[in-house]
Amino acid sequence: MSDEVERRAYNKDEVILSGRGVTKVFVNGKVRNTAVNHVDFDFHKGEFVTIVGESGSGKTTLSKMILGLLPITEGTIYFNGKERDIRSGHKKREYWKNIQAIFQDPFSSYNIFNKIDTVLLDCINMRGGRNLPKEKKIEMMTEACRFVNLEFKELTNKYPFELSGGQMQRLMIARIFLLKPQILLADEATSMVDASSRATILEMLLNLRNETGMTVVFITHDIGLAYYISDTVYIMEHGKFVESGPADTVILNPQAPYTKRLISDVPKIHEVWDLSSVDLELNEIKKDSAK
């Protein structure tokens, strides 16, 4: 990936997924915790969207509601201009043909009893290719693996846990290549791999979007990554979107205090780092230990 940030044009009139007043309240006895608080969003076809927030901001809870893994307490999600209906198992499966996810932990994303061949064949079958000739299925699996710089002939009859974390995440992208959903939700998909693998996976996500035209919703705590990869950025704090808009506007000219703080926390190699807060914490620790 080049150092220059390139924004890809998308059709702003073509909204594929939207939400109005989406809210999630967790109740534990008399305690109510509002994890997502009346958020609105519009994701467009072919758009690369990033939702940025610290741990506990509500971004993963929102992603689970978008995927249909958590019920919504209040509000409505619309898919392709119509109110989303996932009330039955059949309707939920149909929805999942159009929206797929890559999660943070690649090691928990697979059934440990299924070989890589089964993982990929399930994707082909899900897209209606169950009756294709065996040779055609192998050709499709080979193409999908090659797209993510893996060789199918070296993976066949192996289990996913025999791969490295980076290879397992790339295999997840190969699954998406075969499924070709309209929306991909990547929840902290690069946080558990090394820097080299992270850059490779981001490059593959961009290539996947460019090749298939799918919408990518990338969830991260890293505002630097958001600027690097996004068309549009949503900043989330305490369950609410405090700022949103084109990546250049939000990150180069932030308005919300929370956005400014996230940006100020990113170390800059050309500036002297302000370690005063760290020094204060160390001094407090030394005082406590001396007591």
**Res 163: pLDDT:** 87
Q: Which residue has the higher pLDDT, 271 or 98?
A: 98
Domain tally, the chain: 2
Task: Kindly state whether residues 236 and 208 are assigned to the same domain.
Answer: yes
80 and 140 in a single domain? The answer is no
CB 150 within 8 A of CB 180: no
Q: Are strands 15-28 and 74-79 parallel, antiparallel or unpaired?
A: antiparallel
Residues 170 and 185 in one domain: no
CA angle 215, 131, 138 (to 5 degrees): 70
Q: What is the pLDDT of residues 212-242, one digit of tens each?
A: 889 999 999 888 888 888 999 999 999 999 9
Q: Residues, the chain, total?
A: 291
Residue 75, in any domain of the structure:
yes
**Considering 133, 153, 180, which residue would you say is the last residue of a domain?**
180
Confidence band, pLDDT 50/70/90 cuts, at residue 276: low
pLDDT of residue 288: 58
> What does the pLDDT read at residue 1?
43
Domain boundary among 148, 180, 212: 180
Residues 204 and 278 in one domain: yes
**Does 5 map to a domain?**
no
How far from 84 is each of 44, 80, 92, 241, CA to CA, in Å? Answer: 16, 9, 10, 22
Instruction: In whole angstroms, give the CA distance from residue 257 to residue 16.
Output: 30
**Amino acid identity, position 143:** E
Instruction: Judge if 176 and 191 occupy the same domain.
Output: no
104, part of any domain? no
- CATH number of 41's domain: 3.40.50.300
Query: In which domain, by residue range, is 83 found?
Result: 15-98+181-290
